[in-house]
Structure formats: structure tokens, C-alpha cells
């Protein structure tokens, strides 16, 4: 370029920098989530909420308990079991809130909503990064995700913080892997994505499924070659390995376990191999899709026998099979042309696979919380469908927003009304009688609610106490009509009879419990109590001895045996049991006093 041209170029006016327009959509999405679920701030603890919070000894330590949380299984702080789930990030979350805010139900509910809102905002940012800032789909999909009624269980149930955190970190991981691939391969972005993926798995094991979304996301929303996509995806095996290493070092069993063989929790455990096995699982997948399309009725429980097993001739199975085959065909059709709807189908399938009971049996037949992450794929497909409909028929944005508004209004009404049943244990259990009348567990839960109310009344002459036990008996009997082999309901029936001092009925109930499960420790203990009250010390001792064979450190059994031997003038034998009890609880004043009484007797007779 000549000197003259250089001079002329220098004199040209500079184009002023334009300020980037602020994107308020993320804040709109988050605000909508908070407004919709703010009502839950006053809700109580329900179902397993207390198990994960104020009944978990590690969580109650607050921040000081985080070390124990990461080195033990999820339930260890509650019941000492160290061979089931490993979700330390959720419990650590609760522990921090315990230290900072006292661990009240209101505080836990507040942060459930806060993290849900944050997850929805991050989901919007991810879709915006994937589809471009000009697309309407991210906003539509995110708002649909906020309002969808299928999420009420997760947001209103404190225990389901694991689902929220896992999805939030999964969405954040996807956002940053796209930033890495689209914005210059910055190692920082890849590292953030890897850390977030690990966090998703530490919040809940099902976060592992996100590994399938990495190559899918890179394929649909970047121009990377397949070899490069495979290379990036392979890096995510590192956090997978780290997760399993942490799990193995913390737990007695590295593999996933739970009540997978318990028919009450998972009806599918009773399915016959072959046609019934496949048909029942496929039918449930159809129910999941049906709840996404038409979320009514919703229920907190789908256990035995609310969702019965089916065979290959069942119409529900056949419809489900056809629908999923069509979805598979649409996915393959749109895979190579990188259609948004195909990605949405893939997202839905990947995030549902680990909870489908196909790859591995899990501790539930089905549950609405299992749809939380996968429903994001459905909401994306629905958002895409609204926009595609508008483009096909040349609708204006106002018409599109009106269509969205109608759907959101219906969703919001259903979400608000459904959320109310999670306000208290009583409301939730009452709802189960309506939405899951064929569930043995729902009947058992409602019976236990009334039994526990009765147990809280100290005056044995109070008529409310008797009414509570009597009411519970009716529902336990209904549970047993649905499933006669339900040991928990049979045991609870005996406890209610014992509360009414109907010793013969209680004895029969506990004996039936032991026929179902000969190792049921509560039944052995209470059967001994029945015989003790009837004055049959030998049978009482025989049952406590059976219990101590199963659990040598059962404090109550040791204490009771000591008392019986003392009352039957066998002080030396009594002392043996009391001293064993003292080793378990060295500060128990009752045991200390009993030992002194026994020693005084021995000294007098010695």
C-alpha cells in the first residue's frame, strides 16, 4: 500500500464500538422458577428428607462433617449402612446449610428452589450456546422446563436435591465443553467442564449418563471431525475413573445396590425372564413419555402393585414399543443432518437409560424424579416444535408467545396444585391414597402416619391414642391385601396391636412377619416383648437370644435380657448382659445403675 493510501486510511472515521445488548432471558427464567416454587419455603420435612438432613449424624455436624460425608456412603450417617448409594455432594450441600442456616426445613426448601432456578438458567445458557443467540428455542425450552409439573417432586422434596445438583452440573459441563470447542480450544474451559461432570456424578450416580451427551453435543453443535469428537469425549473417562475410585475407597461395595430385589419397591424384580421382563419395562417407558406429554395424574409412589407387570400382548406395551421405535427412527433420520429434534430425542434417551431398569435393576419401579434430567430433552423438543410450527405457518412472534403462554399457564396451574400436596407428610400420604390406591406402600405409609401420632400420645387412656392405632391397623391390613408378603406392613400391624395392648393379635402379626423374613430384628424384639408382658420369660429370652445372634450389639435386647434375668433371681447372668450393654453405651445411666444394683445383690449373697 502506498504512503498516500495509508494516510487516507488513517483519516477514515473509526466505527464506534457497540455495547452488547444485555440478555435478560436467563434472569427471566430463573425468576420464573423462584416465583413458581416460592410457596415451598414453608413446607415441612416429608418422606426421606430427615434421613438426609437432621437424622444424618454427618450432616448435623455441619461443615465439620464434610470429611466423613466424602468417606462414607450416603446412608452411613443415618443407619450405618455403607453399601448403597454414594452422593457426597448432596450431603455436603446440606451440611453447609446446617452450619450457616440451622438446618431448618424452610432453609433446605429455599436452597432447593435456589439451585433449581440456577439449573434452569444454566440450561438456558447451554441451549443458547448450542443454538445461537438469535434462536427463540432456548428461551422457550427453558421456560417449559421451569413450569413442567413433572418436576414438583424434585423441587418440593428436599431429598431430591441430588437430582437438581446433578442436572445443574451436567448442564454446566455441556456449556463449557461447547465453549471449549467453539471458542478457541481454551484448556480452562475443558477443565471446568470436566470438574462439573465429576460434580454431577458426585451429586447422584445417574450423572454418569452424561458421558453419552458429550459426543452427541459436539456432533450436533460443532463442525469438529468425528475423530476429534471421540478424542475430546475420551478425556471424560478420567472423571468417571476418579468417581469410581472415590466410591471404592468410601464404601464397602463399589457397585450399585439397594432394595432391587424387594418386590414392594420394584415390581419389576418379580418379572419373569423373557416377554414379561421386556414388556413391563417398555410399558413403563411409555408411561414416562405419557407423563411428559400429559402430566396427570401425578403420584409420589408407583411401587407394588400400582404399576402391574404386563406381557407381550398388553396394549400399553405395544403402543410404547411403536412410539419408541418411531422416536428411534426420527433420531437416526435427524442424526446425520444435525436436526435439533434429533438431539432432543438423544438427550432424553441418554439421561433416562440408567433409571430405566434395562441396564441394571434399581430400587424403584418408576418415579417422577427419574424424569427430571431427561425431561430437558422433551422440553427442548417441545420448544423446537413450537418454533418449527411458527416457521411452517408463518406465525408472528406474538402468536408463538401466545401458544407458549397457553402451555405455560396449564403447566403452572398443574404445578401449583400438585406442589401443595408436598406441604406436609399428611397431605402427601393422603394424596397417595388417591393417586396410588393399589400401592401397598402408600397404604402402609398412611397407616404409619396415624400409628406414629398415636405413639406420641403418652397417656394410655387418651382416646385419640386408641383411635390412631385403630386407624393405622385398617390401612396396614389394606397394604397386606395388596401384598401379603409385605414384611414391613405386617410388622407395623403388630406394633399397632401392641400399642393397643392386644397381645395375642400382636403375637400373631410378629410371627407372620418372621415367616416372611426370619431375620426381621424388630419383629424378634417385639415378639419377645409380647411374651414378657404375658409373663412367659423363657419365650421372651429365647426371642431376644435369637435377635442377639443376628445382632450381638443390639442394646435394647441386652438391656431387656439383663432385666429379665435380674427379675428371675439370676443376678450373675443379669450382670453379663448389662456389662455387654455398657460396652455399647458407656454413658447410659440406666445401665450403670442396674449394674450397681446387681453388684449389691451379689455382694449380699456372696
What is the DSSP track for 54-82?
TT-HHHHTGGGGHHHHHTS-TTHHHH---
The mean pLDDT of 119-134, rounded to a whole number, is 96
- Count the neighbouring beta carbons within 10 Å of the beta carbon of residue 315: 9
- State whether 412 and 516 are in the same domain: no
Count of domains for the chain: 2
Average pLDDT over residues 587-598: 93
Query: What is the extent of the structural domain holding 190?
Result: 25-419
CB neighbours of residue 461 within 10 Å? 7
CA dihedral 258, 259, 261, 263 (to 10 degrees): -160
Q: What average pLDDT score do residues 247-254 get?
A: 84
Boundary residue ending a domain (361, 388, 419): 419
The CATH number for 456's domain is: 1.25.40.10
Give 11's pLDDT tier (boundaries 50, 70, 90).
Answer: very low
Residue 13 has pLDDT above 50, yes or no: no
Of the candidates 425, 418, 340, the one whose C-alpha atom is nearest the C-alpha of residue 378 is: 340
Query: Does 333 lie in the same domain as 286?
Result: yes
Give a yes or no: residue 316 inside a domain: yes
In whole angstroms, give the CA distance from residue 286 to residue 320. Answer: 5
- 532 half-sphere exposure, CB direction, 13 A CA radius: 21
Does residue 6 lie within any of the structural domains?
no
Name residue, grid cell 471449549: 180
Across the range 156-180, mean pLDDT stands at 98
Domain end among 373, 403, 419: 419
Do 383 and 530 reside in the same domain of the chain?
no
State yes or no: pLDDT of 260 exceeds 80. Answer: no
Residue 20 within any structural domain of the chain? no
Tell which residue, 112, 108, 114, 111, has the closest CA to residue 54.
108
Q: Phi-psi region for residue 314, left (φ > 0), alpha (ψ -120 to 50) or beta?
A: beta
Mean pLDDT of all residues in 81-89 = 89
Is residue 259 scored above 70 in pLDDT?
Answer: no
Same domain, 127 and 50: yes
Residues 212 and 284 in one domain: yes
In degrees and rounded to multiples of 5, residue 305 shows phi and psi of -125, 45
4: how many CB neighbours lie within 10 A of its CB? 8
Query: How many Å apart are CA 472 and CA 447, to the nearest integer?
Result: 4
Residues 400 and 436 in one domain: no
On the CB side of 391, CA atoms within 13 Å amount to 9
pLDDT in tens, 510-564: 999 999 999 999 999 999 999 999 999 999 999 999 999 999 999 999 999 999 9
Distances (CA, A) of 30 to 20, 146, 524: 21, 8, 52
End-to-end CA distance of the chain: 119
Distance in angstroms (rounded) separating the CA atoms of residues 234 and 219 = 14
Residues 529 and 472 occupy one common structural domain: yes
Which grid coordinates belong to 213? 451427551
What percentage of the chain exceeds 70 in pLDDT? 95
Q: Are residues 408 and 494 in the same domain?
A: no
494 with 514, same domain: the answer is yes
- The confidence score (pLDDT) of residue 84 equals 80
Rounded mean pLDDT, 308-313: 96
Domain boundary residue, one of 419, 441, 458: 419
Helix H segments across 255-396?
275-293, 315-335, 340-352, 375-392
| Residue 239 · residue 251 · CB < 8 Å | no
Say what the pLDDT of residue 254 is.
59
Q: Indicate the average pLDDT of the chain.
A: 93
pLDDT of residue 255: 59
Amino acid at each position: 500500500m502506498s504512503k498516500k493510501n495509508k494516510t487516507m486510511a488513517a483519516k477514515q472515521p473509526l466505527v464506534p464500538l457497540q455495547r452488547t445488548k444485555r440478555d435478560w432471558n436467563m434472569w427471566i427464567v430463573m425468576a420464573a422458577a423462584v416465583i413458581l416454587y416460592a410457596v415451598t419455603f414453608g413446607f415441612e420435612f416429608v418422606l426421606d428428607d430427615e434421613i438426609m438432613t437432621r437424622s444424618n449424624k454427618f450432616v448435623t455436624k455441619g461443615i465439620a462433617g464434610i470429611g466423613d460425608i466424602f468417606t462414607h456412603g450416603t446412608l452411613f450417617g443415618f443407619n450405618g449402612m455403607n453399601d448403597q448409594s454414594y452422593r457426597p455432594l448432596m450431603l455436603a450441600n446440606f451440611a453447609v446449610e446446617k452450619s450457616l442456616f440451622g438446618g431448618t426445613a424452610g432453609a433446605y426448601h429455599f436452597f432447593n428452589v435456589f439451585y433449581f432456578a440456577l439449573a434452569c438458567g444454566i440450561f438456558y445458557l447451554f441451549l443458547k450456546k448450542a443454538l445461537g443467540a438469535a434462536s427463540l428455542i432456548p428461551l422457550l425450552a427453558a421456560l417449559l422446563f421451569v413450569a413442567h409439573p413433572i418436576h414438583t417432586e424434585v423441587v418440593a422434596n428436599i431429598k431430591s436435591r441430588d437430582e437438581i445438583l446433578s442436572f445443574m452440573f451436567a448442564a454446566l459441563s455441556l456449556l463449557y465443553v461447547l465453549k471449549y470447542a467453539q471458542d478457541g480450544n481454551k484448556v480452562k474451559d475443558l477443565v471446568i467442564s470436566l470438574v462439573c461432570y465429576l460434580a454431577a456424578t458426585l451429586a447422584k450416580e445417574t450423572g454418569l449418563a452424561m458421558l453419552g451427551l458429550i459426543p452427541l453435543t459436539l456432533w450436533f453443535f460443532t463442525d469438529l471431525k468425528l475423530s476429534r469428537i471421540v478424542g475430546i469425549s475420551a478425556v471424560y473417562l478420567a472423571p468417571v475413573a476418579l468417581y469410581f475410585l472415590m466410591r471404592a475407597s468410601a464404601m464397602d461395595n463399589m457397585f450399585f445396590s439397594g432394595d432391587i430385589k424387594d418386590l414392594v419397591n420394584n415390581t419389576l424384580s418379580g418379572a419373569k425372564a423373557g416377554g414379561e421382563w421386556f414388556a413391563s419395562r417398555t410399558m413403563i417407558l411409555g408411561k414416562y413419555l405419557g407423563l411428559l406429554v400429559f402430566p396427570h395424574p401425578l403420584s409420589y409412589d408407583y411401587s407394588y402393585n400400582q404399576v402391574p407387570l404386563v406381557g407381550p400382548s398388553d396394549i400399553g406395551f405395544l403402543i410404547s414399543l411403536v412410539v419408541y421405535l418411531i422416536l428411534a427412527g426420527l433420531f437416526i433420520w435427524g442424526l446425520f443432518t444435525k436436526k435439533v429434534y434429533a438431539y432432543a430425542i438423544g438427550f432424553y434417551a441418554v439421561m433416562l437409560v440408567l433409571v430405566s431398569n434395562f441396564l441394571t435393576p434399581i430400587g424403584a419401579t418408576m418415579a417422577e424424579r427419574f424424569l427430571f434430567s431427561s425431561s430437558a430433552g422433551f422440553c427442548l423438543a417441545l420448544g423446537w416444535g413450537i418454533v418449527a410450527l411458527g416457521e411452517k405457518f408463518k406465525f408472528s412472534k406474538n402468536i408463538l408467545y401466545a401458544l407458549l403462554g397457553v402451555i405455560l399457564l396449564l403447566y403452572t396451574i398443574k404445578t401449583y396444585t400438585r406442589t401443595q400436596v408436598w406441604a406436609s407428610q399428611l397431605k402427601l400420604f393422603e394424596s397417595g391414597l388417591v393417586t396410588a390406591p393399589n400401592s401397598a406402600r402408600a397404604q402402609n405409609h398412611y397407616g404409619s402416619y396415624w400409628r406414629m401420632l398415636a405413639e406420641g400420645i403418652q397417656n394410655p387412656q387418651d382416646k385419640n391414642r386408641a383411635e390412631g392405632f385403630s386407624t393405622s391397623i385398617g390401612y396396614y391390613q389394606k397394604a397386606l391385601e395388596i401384598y401379603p408378603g409385605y414384611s414391613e406392613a405386617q410388622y407395623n400391624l403388630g406394633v399397632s396391636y401392641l400399642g393397643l395392648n392386644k397381645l395375642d393379635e400382636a403375637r400373631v402379626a410378629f410371627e407372620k412377619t418372621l415367616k416372611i423374613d426370619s431375620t426381621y430384628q424388630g419383629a424378634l424384639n417385639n415378639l419377645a416383648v409380647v411374651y414378657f408382658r404375658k409373663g412367659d420369660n423363657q419365650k421372651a429370652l429365647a426371642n431376644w437370644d435369637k435377635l442377639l445372634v443376628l445382632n450381638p450389639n443390639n442394646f435394647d435386647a441386652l438391656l431387656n435380657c439383663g432385666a429379665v434375668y435380674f427379675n428371675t433371681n439370676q443376678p450373675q447372668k443379669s450382670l453379663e448382659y448389662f456389662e455387654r450393654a455398657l460396652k455399647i453405651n458407656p454413658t447410659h445411666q440406666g445401665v450403670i445403675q442396674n449394674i450397681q444394683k446387681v453388684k449389691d445383690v451379689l455382694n449380699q449373697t456372696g
